[in-house]
Amino acid sequence: MASESCDVCERSVRIAGGIGDLWNFAFESTQGLTLELTDGSEFFLCFDCMERLPEDREPTAEDVSDLRDRTDPVEEDGNAFWHWG
């Protein structure tokens, strides 16, 4: 297991550790994924933010940065861990 920060809300998100985890753990423990855009850029987004991207077309880097502008960084609830990993 590993974790990565969402590029939009900055929440730290658990991700499956590797390709071997994919089928066993992908839906249980992965809370985000890397979005590859058609222009070749990549962003790591949690599912919450992913759902807020436009669904009627391919999202662009501008959509991601728009969404980031509209999103306040999430404060970890309770037992905060800072910059995990």
Q: Residue 24 or residue 26: which is nearer to Zn ion going by CB?
A: 26
Q: Which stretches of the chain bind Zn ion, using CB under 5 A? A: 6, 8-9, 46, 49
The DSSP letter of residue 40 is S
Q: Please, which residue, 16 or 49, has the CB nearer to Zn ion?
A: 49
Nearer to Zn ion, 8 or 16 (CB): 8
Q: Which residues of 8-17 are buried (b: 16+ CB within 10 A; e: fewer)?
A: bbbbbbbbbe
Give the integer Cα–Cα distance in Å for 55 and 66.
15
Least distance CB 14 / Zn ion (angstroms): 13
